[in-house]
Structure 1
Amino acid sequence: MSAPAEQPYRRGGDGSAEEAFTQCPMPVAIFDRTLQIVLASSGMAKESGLAEDEIRGRHGVGMLLGPAGAEVEQGIRRVFDSGEAETSDVWVDGGRGEGQRVWSVTLSPLRDSAEAVHRVQLTAVEVTELHRARDRLAALSEVSVRVGTTLDVSTTTQEMADMMVGRLADFVTVDLLDSLFRGVEPKPSAEGVALRRAAHSSVLPGVPESLIRVGDVDQYPEYSPPAKCLATGQSSLHNVPDAAITRWQAMDPRRAEVLHAHSIHSVMVVPLRARGIILGVSLLVRHRNPDPFGADDLLLAEEIAARAAVAVDNARRFTRERTTALALQRSLLPQRLPGQESVEVVSRYLPADSRAGIGGDWFDVIPLSGARVALVVGDVVGHGLQASATMGRLRTAVRALSDVDIPPDELLALLDDLVVHLAATDDAVAGPDLETVSDYVATCLYVVYDPIARCCTVASAGHLPPFVVTPGGTVELVDVDPGPPLGVGGLPFEAVTRSRGPSGLRKTKGSSNSLAHRTTWLRSDFRRSLERPPATLEDTCQAVLHALLPAAPSDDVALLIARTRVLDAHHVATWDVPCDPAIVAATRAWAGRQLADWGMQEVAFTVELVVSELVTNAIRHGAPPVQLRLIRGTALLCEVSDGSNTSPHLRRAQIFDEGGRGLLLVAQLAQRWGTRHRAVGKTIWAEFGLPERPA
């Protein structure tokens, strides 16, 4: 049985259907089973560059789609076989300068009266702009996801460069104003500018197109495209060579060599601007991609740069605020630990990583009377400027209370009352628009070391006790039960006295004194860092931090290590004074002889006057026993103790008063003076500076 004869293509009776088809502005063609064009529209003729009569009878669609036509021809065959329409996007090379064109090709079956497919109609619609718009939206969406993942300027700019390479350019640089890295508000100038390379990226390994490394500064003359971009805030497109690029090459041979070596043919310069401030400039280059940059490429680059600039500005602002907060935190901590006769100290403060923010950790070393010293570490719960400010208030309060010379447990009780009062006061004055801290909670460890009695007294408010390294190298914890954190209120604190001074204080988190908590901090690596002490305390400090901390701690850390000393009989002289006014002269003479033995004749006269005044007051107004003690250290201390609990007060005596001038004389002659209460009685002390002696 022979196959039915192929029916010829039938035109409309009046020819209107054929006229409508042939005059259609869209590229449309009808193919027979041999893939020959039976009929084509004027749109097809226009796009192919051939007349309609020249198109008719041609085989395939190569004249329109070029090499991509082979895939479409396969689709035509499939439609003949299946009878189902197909639609696909086809990319066609538009030639140099035009880039790729995208056609949406629809293949539709045409059926005869027997419902058999005897023709296939091809309809092509150019969707290049639609695809470009879709790519731009995808790129901008990717910017939101990939750029600005961290609040770090270098990371953000590198993410921007990496995202544009391969998609938009072959080589990308991001240069920022050098002042931005120093925390100064960027101010571009119309003259030559110094830009620091924040990031660069390339399709070639090793970024061979770059003249400088990331972090280096490059100088751009005022006539260069980047300098003009910074001065005007306007983007620019350049083909190589044009006037601006040619002048730049002439003045910079190294840059000209790179342009020729990599056959760079198109350059685009885009400013990074956010919130009205120009932060820097991005340079985009093409050398592997043969198509020059176009207006659409410039628009996409500007949109990417604008979004990335906001992320860079956020990172810049965060860095500046973190630097400010860190500067505040460090300014509230001791800038220089005072020299002490009783202890040798080293300290460290390590801020938390950028995600956690600045905390409220602090430490202090406070000289006390009697050659004693107070060692303090503490932590305000929370992060940010509020925690730092609260830390500064608490540190100041601790110093003020230390001057009163009260026992450690009483000091913590008063500090607890202060924190409760601060919380109540701040809640009362806070307005609806002010951000306040809901709770004032802090921990504090307060240790007083006495180098003469060779003991330390420890009290803790929610803080882990101090570590002690014994002369034998054993690491121990002082057995003191931490009281509640500061701010709880109404609960007592415990103070314990240990006969050996602390060799190390480690600031830790938490308020638990459980066995599990102790075991965690006494793990083997930490114990070894203290049991085998290095040559210096600085080395010990580094060993402790290395044993306990990760590379980027999630919370800030304050570390204070103290090596104790003792003052023996060569540094301390004591004399029990009888309660007889006639003994004052003998006491003054004894003090003079002792100072002569120590080689301190320069201050003997002044000290004898103060000794005479203090001993006289103790005999007349105090109670037995009376004792005189001289302590030789970095300064000379004179202490007179008696059994009375009454405290002397400095006042200005009137003209006809018989007394009241003694303490005024002591205050004028001594560097410092004060009163220290004991369990029974009191001690009045005065401190004298020693004259400098040649080495």
Structure 2
Amino acid sequence: MGTEHVKNNDSPHEGQGPVLVPGPAANGRPDPFDGLAAAVLDHRGTVLRWTGTAKHLTGFPAEEVCGRPVRDLVTDLPDKLRTATEMPASGQARLRHRSGDTIDVAFRISAMEGPAEFLVLAAPADHVVHHEQGAALLRALSSQNRVTIALHDTDLTTVQTNATPDTPDAPRVQPGTRLCDVLCAEDAENLKAVLRQVLQTGAPVIRRSQHVSWRHDPEQRRALSLSAFRLEDARGRPTGVAALYVDSPDVRARRHLDLTREVAERVGGFLDVVRTARALADVLVPAFGDLVTVDLAQSVFDGEEPPKQLGGGDLGLRTAALASAATVWTARTERGDLFPPFPDHPLLRGFQQGETLVLGADDYGAALGDPQLVEFVIPQGGHSVLVAPMHARGLTLGGISIWRCGRSEPFTADEANLMTQIASGAALAVDNARRYTREHRAAVALQQRLLPPATTDTAAAETAGIHLPTGGGAEIRGDWYDAIALPSLRLALVAADVIGHGMPATATMGRLRTAIQTLADLELEPDELLTRIADLVQRLVAEAPPDHHDVLGATCLYAVYDPITRRCTMASAGHPPPVLVRPDGIAEAVDICPGPPLAIGGMPYETTTIEIEPGSVLALCTDGLIQRSDRDIDQGLQCLEDALAASCRPDRALDATSRAVLADLRNQTQRDEATLLLARTRAVPAEDTAHWEIPADPAAVSQAREWATRQLTRWGLEDLVFTTELIVSELVTNAIRYGRLPAELRLIRHNVLVCEVTDSNSTQPRLRRARTTDEGGRGLFLVAQLAERWGCRHSQNRKTIWAEQPIERSC
């Protein structure tokens, strides 16, 4: 306890009132009242007396405070509290400092006997909090059954302890007890030497194995794990030692068991090589060493097997993880430094063959030989090292290097055996992560090759697609999008989601995407295309092993936009509907009737047709973008509509819009892969199309040629008149001869010239080679020779035969 001196009111130092002068405490113990300010108030709240510590706290001397109401010093005192009797008994307040600053304090008010006066005690709030936290920590430690805590003063006399006798006749450990009163003389001296060193140097002792015998039972030896720390006051002066004793039959064995369990729990949970290595290093420091590095072959980072090299040279090792105590310095960093070449040495060959090495720093440096390698590998102050190889499936992936520095004890044979086991388990975790990395990269490469270009630009629309893997790429699934250019300037838009993950899902995605592109070229209606894809998926299910039937399937949305009619026809196989953003910025989901997913057959698909204004944006996505654990699909669609309405602007590029939409929707953990395809629609101007109805008269063929010639001349395409007349003549002749009227002729001008003839006969035309004696049968053959490409599409009991010619080649 500090010594309290009371000054007279006429003290030249403080002017008035008693003054608390902190002084050194007996045995170096901290004074609990050090820094405690005090003042005396009358019943009206006027300051009567003022201490020196109050002046030190606020900066105001007694002559400036006494006689004034205390409310002048308190910034947050309510107006209704005008007298001392109305003030709370304790609490916190904010005081003015003479410098103009404020001080947060905790206070307590007590009524004094005699005159109506009140004693106010105050201390800085953070000091009070620290004292309360320290007391709470001490109470928590004292309540532990397996932990004995003892506080010793500078003479190593026990001040406080939770130690209890383990036998009825054992003396109780009371405050004031010395170590020699409890332990045998030799053990007491050994323990005092350890605690005295902690008190003098300030260096803590952590988990030191200490064997002791009790004075009342000298025959029984006990193993203690000792941790000791120096206690200091606010000014950094030593005030004693805190010692924690863990009583266990075999402390080292328990510690090794705990370390093994922690490594197993923390290291095996990652599928990333670097994260696995970091978790291992973090577990081993400081529990096993002062500096730990996990070094792996460069090929392991890439998911490949390490080289089967034996002997010295450039081993291609790179630091994957590094953990160290604050006082340990090394030239290496965790940014992936490559090792210099190693000399060929028997120790290196032993390591490569699975031998764990325990060496002193000097012996290790002599084995390395190269000064550059020595500086790179050996940390400053390191005195012993344990190097354990990481072997898995006959491969040396790398090694774990553990250094002990300063006053740490050297490694033992038991610790070397323990680390051999830990390194073996860690090697399996790293190898699993390596193999996953290889499969993941292969799946990513395959998926990226199978995905379409991120942007397209056609007469129908400009598109931008974005693909977001699960967890930033941790898992590959089968989501994809597509934009397929169709004849007659039309555009097919696809969004699909394959069940499953990894390579099987990616392979299934590739097969379905190829099938959809093939069927799209046949110009099938969306409902018919989905029906045929569903048949394909059912065949895939039948071909798969029985235990994989429930992981094969997909959902799909297929839409076809025609820039001439400005209509979009779509069908859904269990897929979320698209969202249409009109040019005025209003966004809403398209009302479609989804059919069953593609793995389920027997039910038809329905088509939905909508009209789209030019400049509108049609958004197709997979459910990973809108589905979250805390909301249903309708709420997710509403969030997508809001994000699109906020981000879609005519002056903003679609790829920038897609990134902005994803940024709006990625504020929560993403559970599934997601894709987003945006298509800003266009329209073919009316002056770039021409349309005629063909009468049921063979003479209409020549009339159709005249229509085409006149229109091409108006468009300035005179170079295409001859070939177009021949194409029109053959197609119109076939429509009149084999088709069913009414028939129509349509010409479309863009970067190609499209000639279409539509009739009511749904029979598929066939291209064949006519014999020499045949009078006909050469029409489609001639069309195929004159046009760059041709084809036929069907819609509601009608068929359209079309032919394209490139306009650029005629210029």
Deviation at 1:80, TM superposition (A): 11
Alignment of 1:449-464 (within 5 A): 449-464=561-576
Cα distance in 2 for partners of 1:471, 1:80 equals 88
Deviation at 1:106, TM superposition (A): 5.3
Q: Does 1:316 align with 2:434?
A: yes
Alignment of 1:184-583 (within 5 A): 184-189=304-309, 190-204=312-326, 208-223=329-344, 231-242=352-363, 244-245=365-366, 247-252=368-373, 254-255=375-376, 259=379, 262-335=380-453, 339-353=457-471, 357-423=475-541, 425-426=542-543, 430=545, 435-438=547-550, 440-500=552-612, 503-509=617-623, 517-523=633-639, 525-530=642-647, 532=649, 535-550=652-667, 553-583=670-700
Deviation at 1:362, TM superposition (A): 2.1
Q: For residue 734 of structure 2, what is the aligned residue in structure 1?
A: 617
Q: For residue 60 of structure 2, what is the aligned residue in structure 1?
A: none
Deviation at 1:449, TM superposition (A): 0.7
Cα distance in 1 for partners of 2:488, 2:502 equals 38
Residue 162 (structure 1) aligned to one of 272, 276, 282: 282
Change (3 A) 1:220 1:553: farther
- Asked if the contact 1:269/1:281 (under 8 Å) is kept, the reply is yes
Cα distance in 1 for partners of 2:810, 2:737 equals 38
Change (3 A) 1:252 1:218: closer
Aligned length: 601
Q: Does 1:669 align with 2:786?
A: yes
After superposition, give the CA deviation of every residue in 1:51-71 in whole Å (9 maximum; x if it has no partner).
Answer: xxxxxxxxxxxxxxxxxx999
Cα distance in 2 for partners of 1:487, 1:659 equals 46
Deviation at 1:601, TM superposition (A): 5.4
Change (3 A) 1:602 1:178: farther
Structure 1 gap ranges (5+): 1-68, 110-119
Deviation at 1:639, TM superposition (A): 1.2
After superposition, give the CA deviation of every residue in 1:251-277 in whole Å (9 maximum; x if it has no partner).
Answer: 458538x74xx2222233222111211
Deviation at 1:333, TM superposition (A): 2.7
Change (3 A) 1:123 1:337: closer
Cα distance in 1 for partners of 2:522, 2:260 equals 64
Change (3 A) 1:448 1:201: same
Deviation at 1:354, TM superposition (A): 8.0
Cα distance in 2 for partners of 1:681, 1:136 equals 81
- Asked if the contact 1:174/1:283 (under 8 Å) is kept, the reply is yes
Cα distance in 2 for partners of 1:638, 1:577 equals 14
Which amino acid is 2:763 matched to? T
Aligned residue for 1:476, secondary structure, equals strand
Aligned residue for 1:624, secondary structure, equals coil
Residue 687 (structure 1) aligned to one of 804, 808, 811: 804
Deviation at 1:233, TM superposition (A): 4.2
Change (3 A) 1:684 1:596: same
Change (3 A) 1:238 1:668: farther
Aligned residue for 1:241, secondary structure, equals helix
Change (3 A) 1:263 1:422: closer
Hey, which bits of structure 1, 4+ residues long, moved more than 6 A? 77-81, 84-95, 125-129, 224-227
Which amino acid is 1:395 matched to? R
Residue 82 (structure 1) aligned to one of 122, 146, 169: 169
Change (3 A) 1:125 1:439: closer
After superposition, give the CA deviation of every residue in 1:415-466 in whole Å (9 maximum; x if it has no partner).
Answer: 334434443x23xx636xxx41326443221211110011111222222221
Deviation at 1:301, TM superposition (A): 2.3
Cα distance in 2 for partners of 1:664, 1:648 equals 11
- Asked if the contact 1:177/1:188 (under 8 Å) is kept, the reply is no
Which amino acid is 1:430 matched to? P
Change (3 A) 1:194 1:212: farther
Which amino acid is 1:319 matched to? T
Structure 2 gap ranges (5+): 1-155, 173-181, 198-205, 226-248
Residue 273 (structure 2) aligned to one of 145, 153, 162: 153
Cα distance in 2 for partners of 1:82, 1:144 equals 44
Cα distance in 2 for partners of 1:371, 1:138 equals 70
Q: Does 1:642 align with 2:759?
A: yes
Deviation at 1:311, TM superposition (A): 0.9
Q: For residue 21 of structure 1, what is the aligned residue in structure 2?
A: none
Deviation at 1:108, TM superposition (A): 8.6
Cα distance in 1 for partners of 2:686, 2:324 equals 75
Cα distance in 2 for partners of 1:270, 1:323 equals 29
Greater displacement, 397-406 / 579-588: 579-588
Change (3 A) 1:356 1:399: same
Change (3 A) 1:282 1:224: farther
Aligned residue for 2:316, secondary structure, equals strand
Aligned residue for 1:265, secondary structure, equals strand
Aligned residue for 1:219, secondary structure, equals coil
Residue 219 (structure 2) aligned to one of 87, 111, 122: 122
Greater displacement, 481-490 / 225-234: 225-234
- Asked if the contact 1:341/1:565 (under 8 Å) is kept, the reply is yes
Which amino acid is 1:457 matched to? T
TM-score when normalising by structure 1: 0.76
- Asked if the contact 2:388/2:400 (under 8 Å) is kept, the reply is yes
Which amino acid is 1:485 matched to? P
- Asked if the contact 2:688/2:750 (under 8 Å) is kept, the reply is yes
Cα distance in 1 for partners of 2:325, 2:432 equals 28
- Asked if the contact 2:523/2:794 (under 8 Å) is kept, the reply is yes
Deviation at 1:279, TM superposition (A): 1.1
Deviation at 1:562, TM superposition (A): 0.1
Cα distance in 2 for partners of 1:602, 1:202 equals 80
Greater displacement, 644-653 / 312-321: 644-653
Aligned residue for 2:417, secondary structure, equals helix
After superposition, give the CA deviation of every residue in 1:515-535 in whole Å (9 maximum; x if it has no partner).
Answer: 974354224752543455661
Cα distance in 2 for partners of 1:682, 1:584 equals 19
Cα distance in 1 for partners of 2:480, 2:505 equals 11
Cα distance in 2 for partners of 1:202, 1:357 equals 32
Aligned residue for 1:271, secondary structure, equals strand
Cα distance in 1 for partners of 2:347, 2:568 equals 66
Cα distance in 2 for partners of 1:354, 1:132 equals 42
TM-score when normalising by structure 2: 0.66
Change (3 A) 1:336 1:283: same
Q: For residue 125 of structure 2, what is the aligned residue in structure 1?
A: none
